[in-house]
Structure 1
Amino acid sequence: MGRVQLEEFVAGYLGGASSVIVGHPLDTVKARLQAGQGYGSTFNCIFTIYRNENIAGFFKGLSFPLASIAIYNSVVFGIFSHAHRFISQYRNTSQRHPPDLIDLTFASMLAGCVSVGIGGPVDLVKIKLQMQTQSATSDVVSLTHSTTLRHYQTTYKGPIHCVNCILRKEGLLGMYRGSGAMILRDIPGYCLYFIPYIYLSEWLKLECHTTPSALSVWLAGGIAGAISWGTATPMDVVKSRLQADSLYNRKYRGVKDCITQSYCNEGIQVFFKGITVNAIRGFPMSAAMFLTYELSLRAMKTSKESN
């Protein structure tokens, strides 16, 4: 049992690393659209980041999630796999194919709860690093009426400096700012992540195969990611705004206040900012995540059986 547990956690780690590398550029665009100002459309946001910050702008804050989200995904996937196994054995549904919906739902909800405890601080630091160019120290009108030069302030030198600043100014609780919105996002979000993946991979599995092919895993993972991230967008907007809020000036007192202010100032459409990016980003990220997870897990199990 211990060996299987280790293999699933290692596979989750490798899958998490691959998903971060694939998805981080669009994650930066999503964060700017949701918590920033003046970007307008998705394509305008991409063009603005490239014009002002070059390619490096899309990879702000990458080092921290690359090091930490891999561990985070390792825990989430390990918790889901073992929780599902335990629940199905307890309910005597372990032999069902496809797996029982109730078993998958409870395991997904547990994974969502665990994800907040580990992923909250990771997401907070990532958002703060991604949003650093959102606060202008001054606006200077340049030589022509149509051109404005903006001087930006860099607050954090890197992820370690960011964590130290948060802990010094806000304490340990400051690392979990936005966690309420993250819970409301991740519990249903993981249900719409793992459940569609399990059923789609079973449905796409070829009759002559006992396990889904690499193409089936890739496609099922991508579709599940697009569904999960697309439907999670409203609470993802609230979470991003709460986490970016304390970077310069505190605007929101909590989840309810953020929802109320955002709706009053920008209307219902504000909660769908970045939905296109979320859905598009969710496909390659999750496809890479599940494909790496499944292939590495199979490789480790094959290696164990051959020894």
Structure 2
Amino acid sequence: MDGVSSTPPNPWFDNAAFNDTLRRNKSIVCALSASYISSFAGYPLDSLKSRLQTTKTRISLLKLAGLVYREEGFIGFYRGLWIPLVTISFVRTASFTIYSDTKEYCRRKNYFSGDSMYDAAFAGGISGALSGSLISFGSAPFELVKVRRQLEYSIAATKGIQLIKPPNTIEAVRDIVRTHGVSGLYLGFRLHFLRDTSGTALYFFEYDAMRHLLGRERSGEQGPTPQWLPIPNSLIPFVCGSFAGVTSWALIYPLDVVKTKVQQRALANTPPRGVWETFHRLVRGPDPKDPKPVLAGIARIYRGLGVSAVRSITTHGLLWTFFDFTSQYIDDLS
């Protein structure tokens, strides 16, 4: 014996083959792992956002959080959590794959392949629009059920029902199908499609533009950061993800409010209203003879934006941070 110990290879596990699988499926592994972490961290804020959007009375975030905790307990903040966690493997993975493949197609065809910020931004925006539009067909039913689970108590109150124990997710799906048929899982789909297409396009447009401004080359390599924002390279994904998440969400936020309100009325079996009628009532109030001031109506539309901004900073910042971290880890595998 030479005094040097070595660990014998595991006959049941081929490390080289495993590493090769990670490399070949890098975008899937990165998107999946990063999405689980970011979704879990941001879900309570997403739940509070939906409640703020649909409540008729003005209430602060802290008071609403206290109310949810008293009535539903800590589990109330995570009601419906398993839906985004289960579907994350499809939605995030497919979204990032479509986005990445479309950008690669544009590069091969020399579309927006220059080295300017505009080329980077438009390539990302077009890829994001295609990704968002295709993914919306699969994500719409799951988001509808998530909204239903988050708003169980307000929907029950609209129906005049005293809710003792809220139905679980399977029971909620059964109730939607029993009441509206299988097509009921696509209540509010047009608004969902429009929101996801425009929102995802804006998101990737802004992210790629910001990454280009902060020194990322079109090859994907990170160059030096500009003098006007000399931040560590490790913070760049968080900054760009947070910026893109907050600003793109703020732009499409009114559309999301209208979508949530339309879906809430449909789930509560109340007479439907058109998109513009819903938007007008939210801005100017239900009484045409005594309309609310425009600024007050806009404030009503953007109720919950603050918590959404915090959620976006948390979710998208962590998403891109762990995405880049996992990508670098896989690249460094021997």
Output the TM-score relative to the length of structure 1.
0.84
Match of 1:171 among 181, 189, 193: 181
Which residue matches 2:93?
74
Maintained 8 Å contact 2:121/2:204 = no
Cα distance in structure 1, aligned partners of 2:200 and 2:271: 29
Which residue matches 1:269?
299
Q: CA deviation at 1:228?
A: 1.7
Which residue matches 1:193?
203
| Distance change >3 Å, CA 71–CA 14, structure 1 → 2 | farther
Q: What code does the residue aligned with 1:182 have?
A: H
Which residue matches 1:36?
55
Maintained 8 Å contact 2:241/2:320 = yes
Cα distance in structure 2, aligned partners of 1:216 and 1:222: 10
Which residue matches 1:26?
45
Cα distance in structure 1, aligned partners of 2:243 and 2:191: 24
Which residue matches 2:157?
136
| Distance change >3 Å, CA 173–CA 261, structure 1 → 2 | farther
Instruction: Report whether the alignment pairs 1:57 with 2:76.
Output: yes
Q: Within 5 Å, give how 1:174-253 maps onto structure 2.
A: 174-205=184-215, 210-211=221-222, 213-253=233-273
Q: What code does the residue aligned with 2:64 have?
A: C
Larger C-alpha radius of gyration, 1 or 2? 2
Cα distance in structure 1, aligned partners of 2:87 and 2:299: 32
| Distance change >3 Å, CA 137–CA 186, structure 1 → 2 | closer
Maintained 8 Å contact 1:69/1:119 = no
Instruction: Report whether the alignment pairs 1:161 with 2:191.
Output: no
Q: CA deviation at 1:127?
A: 0.7
Cα distance in structure 2, aligned partners of 1:225 and 1:184: 17
Cα distance in structure 2, aligned partners of 1:102 and 1:138: 46
**Which stretch shifts more, 278-287 or 33-42?**
33-42
Q: CA deviation at 1:68?
A: 1.1
| Distance change >3 Å, CA 4–CA 238, structure 1 → 2 | farther
| Distance change >3 Å, CA 169–CA 218, structure 1 → 2 | same
Instruction: Report whether the alignment pairs 1:48 with 2:67.
Output: yes
Q: CA deviation at 1:7?
A: 1.9
Instruction: Report whether the alignment pairs 1:106 with 2:131.
Output: no
Q: What code does the residue aligned with 2:42 have?
A: G
Cα distance in structure 2, aligned partners of 1:246 and 1:6: 40
Maintained 8 Å contact 2:137/2:193 = no
| Distance change >3 Å, CA 219–CA 75, structure 1 → 2 | same
Percent sequence identity over aligned pairs: 26
Instruction: Report whether the alignment pairs 1:284 with 2:314.
Output: yes
Q: CA deviation at 1:296?
A: 1.7
Output the TM-score relative to the length of structure 2.
0.77
Instruction: Report whether the alignment pairs 1:293 with 2:323.
Output: yes
Cα distance in structure 1, aligned partners of 2:158 and 2:192: 30
Structure 2 residues not aligned, in runs of 5+: 1-20, 224-232, 287-291
Q: CA deviation at 1:206?
A: 8.6
Cα distance in structure 1, aligned partners of 2:213 and 2:146: 36
Aligned length: 291
